[in-house]
Amino acid sequence: MYIFKHIYSMYINMNILPEIPKDQLECFKVNVKEWLECDVKVKELEKQIREIKKAKNKVLEPKITNFMRQFNISDLNTESGKLRCNERHTKTSVSKKSIQESLNKVLSEEQASTAMEEIYLNRAVITKYTLSRVKK
């Protein structure tokens, strides 16, 4: 908090910021401290979740689905409910390269380039405000 006090007092001396009442400043400091603590806890829990999901999705699920497909098992009754092996077909994501290739098939190369420029340069801009911790 020393840095905050130093920067804040510097702005006060330059008459950029108004004087903040002490009770509001203390409340602000408590909120910042609590936010930082929450941020640390969230990072720790997200790391644990990533590790568990990795084991579930990358290691166990392929083994289970391969077994079920190999022995033509579509549903499996367990104590915690039914487990179903589903087959799903998905399309690849839309990328700049895939759009360019598709446009090149139906338009001239110049028209395709112009269309790509139009698509990418004129996208809507949305402004959001969030807090993030800056790494030292």
Q: What is the pLDDT of residues 66-89, one digit of tens each?
A: 999 999 988 888 898 888 998 888
- Count of C-beta atoms within a 10 Å radius of residue 39: 13
Considering Cα of 7, then 9, then 10, then 12, what sign does the dihedral take? positive
pLDDT value of residue 46: 97
- Same-domain pairing of 71 and 97: no
pLDDT value of residue 30: 94
pLDDT value of residue 17: 62
Q: Is residue 14 part of a domain?
A: no
| 109 contact partners, CB below 8 Å, separation of at least 6 | none
- Same-domain pairing of 36 and 64: yes
* Residue 63 pLDDT > 70: yes
Residue numbers of the domain that contains 101: 93-123
Q: Is residue 38 part of a domain?
A: yes
Q: Is residue 87 part of a domain?
A: no
Number of structural domains in the chain: 2
- Same-domain pairing of 65 and 97: no
pLDDT digits (tens, 9 = 90+) for 95-135: 888 988 899 999 898 998 899 888 888 888 888 876 677 77
pLDDT digits (tens, 9 = 90+) for 40-51: 999 999 999 999
Task: Please state the length of the chain.
Answer: 136
pLDDT grade, residue 14 (50/70/90)? low
**Amino acid symbol at 39:** D
